[in-house]
Structure 1
């Protein structure tokens, strides 16, 4: 047993969560190194040229540095536009209202309200986020001095601090360690093909040396390839000219990767040349991707006899031949109307957006009044926190608040330790870099993780930099560390109270409706009769969105069905989403065996009836989930008797061992699919209590 097993249940879950989030993955070191290198140059430049607001420059580096060059340039351009508009707007407000405090606050409030509103309804909302945060931040400058010229200089230095950091980040990301999306896509496809080759080798030997795949691995692999293909198309004109070929290649690799999940246990009874032929074809595809050449299917693959071959192997053969012929059909793309649309469809009719902007403005104004009334300069982060924590839902706001507080706490502790033990011994830029860069590297590593933890890394670095790097010389003032943390805590508290009290945006009900819609889509996918490629990427994306939404809902303070049932209800949702994923892959495996077996018309009718009955069970479950959630029961088991009878009749007539084995594989897949559907959890109170008790006993 590991040390984690001796911790309480909640600490075990937290330790496993942190362990999963900080583990390395391809490309994470690259992102961290680019952040660290750019940050080092920014520190040297700011200290040498005495450019103020170093912490602001560093956080810009973290925001602009993205996973690949395309996203880095896009975010950099948006930050340049946003900072320029923000500084211009702030200076205009100061010019017109400098001598009239009330009018200045009203003008800044209106500008802040419009920025937060546009942040919610416009696709490039990050631009208006920058406008809002700079406008409210500049108001703190007015209280530092009564000299208008000095105030203008401070505002102009904000623009310089932001944009020179953007320019330096773009240079570093273009010239050093550039992460090209086309190269990332090729590497990701080759990794998946490596897994396919290893799994086929295990299947051929009857051994198990390759790591086991899960349904989540298949989903993540498909979405990763689709995302990288989108970035590569944006970056490379060659990809845009050959978009159909690139889509076909991604579809082929995804289909090969998903087919490995339902390979039989061994190759017993299969001709010895079948698996080596497929492995050779997969290796040829890998070589073609590496060399940038067109894939040509080996002749042995086209002439391979399909009788008696399991559905997973035939699915692989079909994927390779389809790609060689470029006959794969690309997924439906976003319509031109969706691409051209700048704002959300209900931007002018839905009152939620205006309510969100008003709540955020009220929280910021309450914080500003407290900041001015107490004359506590060190807690100016109280206003910034109100905008940073403001998210479209209570769960998302809670998640952001937790990450902000957690990152700030770790950054403050590191800054405190440096102030006590390291700063007194530093007398030059080398010592400053040796002290700062390890902390920046830690923050960059966390920032390069998933959305569930990335903001904590940015906040860790920013809090550390605010405490130690805002001056052009050593600082030993411990009160700055304290004040920054107090400002963050107060801002989070004010924002949480305001957003939870006024027009709270809970996602519990939308999540339930979205889950029901997801299950209907799974049922529609199950009913399809034609030979399918990989599970459509939009369906995987919808499943991923539901998972992210359920994580936010779990953090909502009021979404509970009875006292003590929050954890049990969250478990129900997670179980349902996991089952939906398993149903999709079980349906794929069943269809692969079905198309591998040449079955008579009567058996085909029994197969169609089974699929329709299973899809009907999903539709009924979804309808109850949508309309009567507390009465939802697990679907009843669908009978396989009709398919079993047809199998017995066909095998007795054919008297063929290969046909019998093929029918047996089909029946196994059918039983597995039916079991996955009937394993969907009940949402009634009794099921929830049972799940809660079971979960408690396991942990």
Structure 2
């Protein structure tokens, strides 16, 4: 029952609405409707392939859509060209054709890992392996060439349709997304300030996870906005100062929970935030004259309010001409360890071996209907076992849902429809379901694509009604067999597990938090925010890695349950420790500015202990450093708040220390 409850909560959370999801659904529906009408009217084959191109290219904003669209056009043209060239010299010589295709496939899978252009080589590998199945199905060379050219057409024209829909009809501009995200955060800040002024708790607390997500999303959208608009690129330093201010206001408002008696200061801060939000409506330059009033020139009492005032003051200084920044160094095409890391070659070999085993099997049993088994081996081949298992499960789940819907439509709907209108009425609800799921997070979005693809493959490949159920059966068998073979090959031959890397990543996060605590008191608040942003980014990477590690084959066995629980506890504690460390650093900076004799050296002692704990987590040292002595919680109000935060930080670190014995036992399960 607990497992079912967790699954239900997961589905509810992943399928919930969020800003932009409805727009993504509408864009995909419009593009898919146009593609269905064009393909059925002009009898363009491979409609399922055309629809999957729409889903792949349609991204969250115009910039990403254009980048992916151009990449798909180049990749598809290159892949089809290579496939035709291969057939020109090897058609009629099956062994030579398989050998040459294997070389091209192996090279594509290697460069998928070893270069920054992984998606390009992924498409090359997909097309190369797909054409081999066409050779077995089509015996005449001319028809085979036409089939390859139709593959190119079935992918290219939907990409152009998707670009038109996303650019002209329903554009999702990153600049507008960025402004909307900042306004939402400022609205939450205003709501919390209003609650504090009324002497009541806020309606909803802002959690560390929300601060993390909000900070990372603003910086990601800024990067896309700068790519989209030359004006944004020219004003990037000022725009960066703007989103830094909003992030600091959002985080500081979450830190202040107790009501504040200084109603005048709260009202001034609310006016400042309202002026800031109003300036975002049309992207105008910021004008905040209230920042220079006497109400904010004095102490505001609460450290969180001081942090908000400081964030707004820093923003006013951003109106000065920004300093010229040097050119950003471009990343090399090849990764640094492209030819020194054996895992890349082993990954290519394992993927090739799984695909060839499936190719031999479906030819040996003369079952061409399951030729997608090879594509499954390529699609679910990811660097780690956990990531491969996650994608395999999503592929199976999406295939089951899509096939069940196709079966229902074949039995109950197709006998009652006639014409393109009925076809659209039957197809669009299922495509809409797939689009809604595909617009979600990485933990579920691939299942949405599979729902749509399996449905379209069973019902939309012919230019008329179909009652053939064999396609549904063959699709299920191909997916299940491909996932099984790929999992066995990648799990038995040189498996790449992330368990040890996860613990190293967690240790690096604790080292980073220690560096944050050790910053000099006079450190610029913008630099503190930049380090905080880096910490949130690393925590986000660790969350994704933990989700993959938990799905590695054998990881959920009883001997690993304690280790999984340990990693979850460490990650949760790391979030709280990081959150509290940012707060401590800002409180300390305010205290040093008020009192020249204040040093706050106890904060650095806790940073030293955190460093020793991170080293012990990596098994580089046997024992953490002795606990530092903390001063009594006394003194003026501001200093008392800082000391209380120190005590809270020590409590969190003490909870980590209490799990040390369990950690030592669990680590033995994955360390040789």
1:501 Cα deviation from its structure 2 partner: 1.1
Q: Does 1:662 align with 2:628?
A: no
- 2:518 is matched with 527
What do residues 218-274 of structure 1 show as CA deviations (whole Å, max 9, x unaligned)? 000000000000000000000011111011001110010100111141113x3x310
1:681 Cα deviation from its structure 2 partner: 5.9
Superposed counterparts of 1:314-353, under 5 Å: 314-326=306-318, 336-337=328-329, 339-353=330-344
1:581 Cα deviation from its structure 2 partner: 1.5
Among 277, 280, 283, the alignment partner of 1:292 is 283
Change over 3 Å in CA distance of 1:49–1:682 after alignment to 2: farther
| 8 Å contact from structure 2 (residues 300, 306) kept in 1 | no
Measure the CA separation in 2 of the matches of 1:687 and 1:83. Answer: 49
1:169 Cα deviation from its structure 2 partner: 0.5
What stretches of structure 1 of length at least 5 have no aligned partner?
1-7, 649-659, 691-699
- 2:564 is matched with 570
Measure the CA separation in 2 of the matches of 1:584 and 1:286. Answer: 28
- 2:392 is matched with 401
- 2:670 is matched with none
- 2:211 is matched with 218
- 1:193 is matched with 186
- 1:123 is matched with 116
| 8 Å contact from structure 1 (residues 331, 537) kept in 2 | no
Q: Does 1:675 align with 2:651?
A: yes
Measure the CA separation in 2 of the matches of 1:671 and 1:135. Answer: 61
- 1:145 is matched with 138
Superposed counterparts of 1:614-633, under 5 Å: 614-627=606-619
Measure the CA separation in 2 of the matches of 1:425 and 1:471. Answer: 17
| 8 Å contact from structure 1 (residues 248, 327) kept in 2 | no
1:85 Cα deviation from its structure 2 partner: 0.5
- 1:278 is matched with 269
Change over 3 Å in CA distance of 1:330–1:453 after alignment to 2: farther
Among 225, 245, 257, the alignment partner of 1:252 is 245
Q: Does 1:307 align with 2:334?
A: no
1:427 Cα deviation from its structure 2 partner: 1.3
> SS in structure 1 opposite 2:279?
helix
What do residues 39-79 of structure 1 show as CA deviations (whole Å, max 9, x unaligned)? 01111111111100000000000000000000000000000
Among 623, 640, 647, the alignment partner of 2:630 is 640
1:567 Cα deviation from its structure 2 partner: 3.1
Change over 3 Å in CA distance of 1:335–1:462 after alignment to 2: farther
1:328 Cα deviation from its structure 2 partner: 10
- 1:655 is matched with none
- 1:542 is matched with 538
Among 459, 467, 471, the alignment partner of 1:468 is 459
Q: How many residues align?
A: 660
Change over 3 Å in CA distance of 1:433–1:331 after alignment to 2: farther
Q: Does 1:170 align with 2:152?
A: no
Measure the CA separation in 1 of the matches of 2:305 and 2:215. Answer: 19
- 2:230 is matched with 237
> SS in structure 1 opposite 2:558?
coil
> SS in structure 1 opposite 2:618?
helix
Measure the CA separation in 2 of the matches of 1:110 and 1:626. Answer: 40
- 2:576 is matched with 582
| 8 Å contact from structure 1 (residues 439, 461) kept in 2 | yes
1:305 Cα deviation from its structure 2 partner: 3.7
Q: Does 1:458 align with 2:452?
A: no
Among 536, 547, 560, the alignment partner of 1:551 is 547
Measure the CA separation in 1 of the matches of 2:103 and 2:623. Answer: 47
> SS in structure 1 opposite 2:137?
coil
- 1:388 is matched with 379
Measure the CA separation in 2 of the matches of 1:164 and 1:380. Answer: 25
| 8 Å contact from structure 2 (residues 79, 128) kept in 1 | yes
| 8 Å contact from structure 2 (residues 394, 447) kept in 1 | yes
TM-score between both structures, scaled by the size of structure 1: 0.91
What do residues 333-368 of structure 1 show as CA deviations (whole Å, max 9, x unaligned)? 99844x241121111221111110011001000000
| 8 Å contact from structure 1 (residues 206, 266) kept in 2 | yes
What do residues 418-462 of structure 1 show as CA deviations (whole Å, max 9, x unaligned)? 111111112111111111100000001110000011101001111
Among 586, 600, 609, the alignment partner of 1:592 is 586
1:331 Cα deviation from its structure 2 partner: 14
Change over 3 Å in CA distance of 1:293–1:335 after alignment to 2: closer
Among 412, 417, 427, the alignment partner of 1:426 is 417
| 8 Å contact from structure 2 (residues 517, 585) kept in 1 | no
| 8 Å contact from structure 2 (residues 201, 258) kept in 1 | no
| 8 Å contact from structure 1 (residues 195, 210) kept in 2 | no
Measure the CA separation in 2 of the matches of 1:415 and 1:54. Answer: 15
- 1:653 is matched with none
Larger displacement relative to structure 2 (234-243 or 664-673): 664-673
Q: Does 1:11 align with 2:4?
A: yes
| 8 Å contact from structure 1 (residues 32, 445) kept in 2 | yes
1:202 Cα deviation from its structure 2 partner: 0.8
Measure the CA separation in 1 of the matches of 2:168 and 2:208. Answer: 38
Measure the CA separation in 2 of the matches of 1:324 and 1:126. Answer: 43
Among 56, 69, 90, the alignment partner of 1:97 is 90
Measure the CA separation in 1 of the matches of 2:161 and 2:169. Answer: 11
Measure the CA separation in 1 of the matches of 2:327 and 2:617. Answer: 31
Measure the CA separation in 1 of the matches of 2:102 and 2:199. Answer: 69
Query: What RMSD over aligned residues (CA atoms) do the two structures have, in Å?
Result: 2.3
- 1:361 is matched with 352
Measure the CA separation in 1 of the matches of 2:219 and 2:312. Answer: 18
> SS in structure 2 opposite 1:99?
coil
